[in-house]
Chain A
Amino acid sequence: MSFIENMVPLSIIICLAGGIVCSALKGESARRLSIAIIFANVIMNALVLFYTLYTGSEFVYVMGKFPAPWGNELRAGSLEGLIALFFAVIMLLSVVGGIRGQDDDIEKDRLNLYFVMINLMMSSLMALVYTNDLFTAYVFVEINTMTACALIMIRNNGHTLVAATKYMIMSLLGSGLLLIGISMLYTITGHLLMPNIKAQVSILMQMDEYAVPLTVVIGLMSIALAIKSALYPFHSWLPEAYGYATASSAAMLSSLISKSYIFLLIKIFYRVIGMDVMVGHKITNILFIFGIIGMIMGSVTAIRQTDIRHLIAYSSIAQIGYIYMGIGLGSTAGMVAAIFHIMSHGASKSMLFIAQRGLVEVSNGSKNFTDLKGSGIRNKLAGVAFTVGAFSMVGIPLLAGFTSKVYFAEAAITAVRSKMWIAMITLAVSTILNAIYFIRATISIYTPRNMDYRDEDYRPSRATGIALVFYIFLNFFLGVMSYPIAHTIEAGLRVFE
C-alpha cells in the first residue's frame, strides 16, 4: 500500500482534530490554524488526485482492517480526488477572502467557534466525497447540516436566526427521508457498503424481487438529497440563508454544502443503485423536469431582485437546476456536464459572494443596487471579480460557465429527442434570463454615481484581494483548460461503477 493512500483518512481526521483544538484557541490563532489545515488538505487531496491519475486506478482504504462486508471503507478514484481537491481549494479561498467579513460580522470572543464549525464542515465534506459506506454518508450529511446551520447563525441578528431555522427545518425533512431510504435499502439488500449493495440490487433486479420497495428507496433518496441541495420547489430557505450570512459562509453554503449533497446523489446513482436501474425507474426524468423548472423560475425571480445578495442567491437556484438537468439527461455526457458545472458554478458563485462584500463596503454598507452604483469604480478589484463571475454565470466564452454550457448542450444533443428539444430551448432561454440580470447588475456597478460614498481612508482588504485574484484565475483556468478536467471526470466516472 502506497504512502499516499493514507492521505484519504488523514484529510478527514486532521480536520476533526483541528476542530477540537480550535475550540481552545483565541479567534485569530484559530483562524491561522484552520487556514493551515485547509491548505494541508489542498496538498493532500492534490497528491491523491495525481496518484490516482498516475496509477490510473482507484484504491480502497479499509478502516480498522476489517474486511469488506463488515468494515468501513473509504474509496478514492480520480473523480473523488478531483472533487475533494476542488472543495478544499474553494474552502481555502472563501475563508481567506472573507477574513474582513468574519471580523466585522462575528463577535470577537466567538470567532474561534466559527472555525470549529469550518473544520467540522471540511471533515464532513471530505468524508462525503470519499466514503464507501452509505450509513457513514448519512452521519456526515447530518454533521454537514448542523455545521451549515451554525455557519449561518454565527452572525448574530434576527435575519440569520430565522434563516438558520428555516434551513434546519427543510434539511431535517431531507435527512429523515434519506435515513428511512437507507434503512429500507439495508433491509432489502442486507449491506451498507456501496459495492455490496450494488451487487445485491442487480441480483434483485434479475430475480424481479422487491420491485416496489426499490422504487420507493430510489424516490426517497433522490428527493431527500434534492431537498437538501435546494432543487427548485424546495428552495424556500435558500435566499434568506445566502442573503444574510457572512460572506464566507454564503460562499461555502452555495459552492460546497449544496454541491456535496449533489455529489453524494451522483455517488448513489453510480455506485449504490446503478445508473441503468436509476434510468429504468425514470427518476432521472423527474429530476430533469424539476431542474428545467428551476432553471427558468430561479432566473425569473432573480430579475425582480433589487438586493445584490438576493440576486446571487436566486441565481444559485437556477444553477442548481442546470446541474439536475444534466443529471436528468441520464447519460454519461450529461453527468460529465453536471459534474463540470458543480465545479464551474462553485468557482464563480463563491467569487461573486466574496466580491459582493467588497462592493458593499464602498457603498455605505447597503446591498441595494441604487447604492451600489459606481461601486465597481470605487473598489476596482472587487468590481472586476464581480464582472468575471457574472460573465461566467451568463456564459461568456473563455470563462468557466461558458464551457459547462457547451458540455450541457453537447450532452443534450445526444439525449432522447424529447429531452433534447426541452433542454436546448431551456438552455437558450435561461442564458438570456441570466444575461438580463447579471449584465444589468454589472452595468449598474460601473455606472458612475454615488461618488460621495468615496472614503479616502478606505483600503480594500488585502486577503480578499489575493483570494479574488486566485478566483479569477480559477475561472479562466476552468474555462480554458476544460479538456483535461472533463477527461478526468469522464475517466473517473468510468471506474466509478
Chain B
Amino acid sequence: MFGPNLFHNIYSVAAVILFSVGFTALMLHRNMIKKIIGFNIMDTAVYLFLASKGYIEGRKAPIIVDNVQRVEAYINPLPAGLVLTGIVVSVSVTALMLSITIRLYNRYHTLDIDEISLRARKDTPVKNKYIKKTARKTIEEVLKEEHL
C-alpha cells in the first residue's frame, strides 16, 4: 500500500490530509466561522502541496548571482507564483464570506447555518411593489432597531 516514496513526499501527504480536514470542515460544520476556517485550511493545504513540489533541496531561487547559469543550480519559480495567485484568490473569497457572515448575523443573530435557513423560511415576504402593501421593514429600519 505505501510505496517507498511515502517519506520522500511527506509534505504532499501532509498537504492532502490537511486538505481533507479543511474540506470536511467546510462541508459539514454548521458554524459559519468554522466553515470559513475550514476553507482557509483547505486552500493553505494546496499551497503547501505546491510549495513542497516546487522546492528541491540544495537549490536556490532563480536569480543569477556569481554568473551561475546551470539549470541544476535553481528551482522552478512557477509554483511560488501559483501560490501567490492562489493566496490572492483565497483572501478575497475569505473577505467575501466574512462579509456575508456579518450580514447573516445582523439579520438572524446566529452563526448556525441550519438555524439561519429555518429562520429565513419564516422571513417576511419579499419586497415587491406589485404586492399589495405588507408590513415590511426596510434594511435601514432593521439596522436602526438593532443598534438601539
Residues of A within 8 A of B (CB): 104-105, 135, 138-139, 142, 145-146, 149, 153, 155-159, 161-162, 164-166, 168-169, 172-173, 175-177, 179-180, 183-184, 186-187, 192, 244, 360-361, 364-366
Contacts and interface: CB of A to CB of B under 8 A. Distances in A.
B131 A161 contact: no
Contact of A161 (B42, B93, B107, B128): B107
Given A166-B113, A180-B19, 15 more contacts: A135-B82, A135-B85, A145-B93, A146-B92, A146-B96, A155-B126, A158-B123, A158-B124, A162-B117, A168-B100, A176-B22, A176-B23, A176-B43, A180-B49, A366-B131
A440 to B, nearest CB: 24
B130 A365 contact: yes
A156 B139 contact: yes
B11 to A, nearest CB: 12
Given A176-B46, A365-B130, A162 B116 contact: yes
A22 B96 CA distance: 20
Contacts of B107: 158, 161
Nearest to A146: B96
B26 A173 contact: yes
A417 to B, nearest CB: 37
Given A156-B139, A179-B46, A183-B46, A172 B82 contact: no
Contact of A139 (B49, B89, B128): B89
B126 A176 contact: no
Nearest to B131: A365
A183 B86 CA distance: 11
Contact of B108 (A104, A158, A177): A158
A436 to B, nearest CB: 27
Contacts of B129: 104, 365
B8 interface: no
B14 to A, nearest CB: 13
Nearest to A184: B49
Interface range for B: 35 or more
Contacts of A149: 96, 100
A244 B126 contact: yes
B89 A364 contact: no
Given A153-B100, A172-B39, A176-B46, A364 B19 contact: no
Contacts of A157: 123-124, 126-127
Interface string B101-131: 1011001100001001101100110111111
14 contacts: A105-B127, A135-B85, A153-B100, A159-B126, A161-B104, A165-B104, A169-B27, A169-B113, A177-B23, A179-B46, A180-B45, A186-B79, A187-B53, A364-B130
B19 A165 contact: no
Nearest to B113: A165
A172 B42 CA distance: 10
Nearest to A141: B89
The 4 closest A-B pairs by CB, nearest first: A365-B131, A365-B130, A158-B123, A365-B128
B23 A173 contact: yes
A173 B26 CA distance: 7
Interface string B1-24: 000000000000000100100110
A244 B121 CA distance: 12
